[in-house]
Copies of this chain bind each other. A is one copy, B any other.
């Protein structure tokens, strides 16, 4: 996609809905790899469940891995009400400035030159203000979505959170507004003078996957592996 951008640089028809680029979502380099259209951004988010959430504490950055889910134009993250940064967020202004980043690595790109080594990847970076969700229905929707983002269909096959668990769980929301995707595909971009060098060049694709589910020792043997797991 980045190799043959359309005039608007998104690689999609110009009529497609897109996020407006801002000073911090236009990359300083490799601008042709950036995309802002909803389809591209959502597809990267929807095939992930782990994000790296950045925030500022005492003037210094903090980056923590955490689960997330997308529901429409909102992302949700949850955690213990006792954990940072969730207890720093607040439901009202000013909220907590965050940067939420999702990255898929698709392949290792080996060029003849060390300099042109690279990765094929698809990433999304979201900037914005995170706020605590207080509406009970939105909290339920978000918590189900976070479970289903990891294993689609799982939320319906588990015991929903009870009042005590809900009280111990913070849910924060980040609107998809200031968002960009960045994608690299294809083989190495060696300099012409290097093409005759004797080094192997190409791509090593990554193959993420799942092994067979391992039941808990205390699982009733009559309970079969559900279809939504074999579908993974």
Whole-angstrom distance between the Cβ of A128 and the nearest chain B Cβ: 9
In the complex, the answer to whether B200 meets A226 with C-beta atoms within 8 Å is yes
Q: Mark A117-134, 1 if CB is under 8 A from B, else 0.
A: 101010101010000000
In the complex, the answer to whether A201 meets B215 with C-beta atoms within 8 Å is yes
In the complex, the answer to whether A99 meets B206 with C-beta atoms within 8 Å is no
Residues of chain B with a CB closer than 8 A to A159's CB:
112-115, 194, 197, 199
Asked if A32 is an interface residue, CB under 8 A from chain B, the answer is no
Residues of chain B with a CB closer than 8 A to A119's CB:
50, 67, 150
Q: Given the known A-B contacts A144-B114, A210-B207, are A101 and B201 also in contact in the complex, defined by CB atoms under 8 Å?
A: no
Asked if A188 is an interface residue, CB under 8 A from chain B, the answer is yes
Interface of A is mostly: mixed
In the complex, the answer to whether A213 meets B203 with C-beta atoms within 8 Å is yes
CA distance A223 to B195 in the complex (A): 12
CA distance A56 to B151 in the complex (A): 33
Q: Which of B60, B204, B207 contacts A127 (CB 8 A)?
A: B60
Residues of chain B with a CB closer than 8 A to A103's CB:
50, 52, 65
Quick one: which of A64, A154, A160, A229 has the most chain B CB within 10 A? A64
Whole-angstrom distance between the Cβ of A194 and the nearest chain B Cβ: 6
Q: Which of B63, B108, B147, B194 contacts A52 (CB 8 A)?
A: B63
Quick one: which of A28, A59, A123 has the most chain B CB within 10 A? A28
Asked if A1 is an interface residue, CB under 8 A from chain B, the answer is no
In the complex, the answer to whether A61 meets B97 with C-beta atoms within 8 Å is yes
In the complex, the answer to whether A62 meets B56 with C-beta atoms within 8 Å is no
Of the 9-residue stretches A6-14, A33-41, A80-88, which lies at the interface with chain B? Answer: A80-88
Residues of chain B with a CB closer than 8 A to A195's CB:
218
Q: Tell me the A175-226 residues at the B interface (CB within 8 Å).
A: 187-188, 190, 194-211, 213-220, 223-226
CA distance A83 to B33 in the complex (A): 14
Q: Which of B55, B97, B204 contacts A211 (CB 8 A)?
A: B204
Q: Mark A44-83, 1 if CB is under 8 A from B, else 0.
A: 0000001011111101111111010000000000001011
Give me the 4 closest cross-chain CB pairs, A-B, nearest first: A54-B63, A54-B61, A52-B52, A65-B103
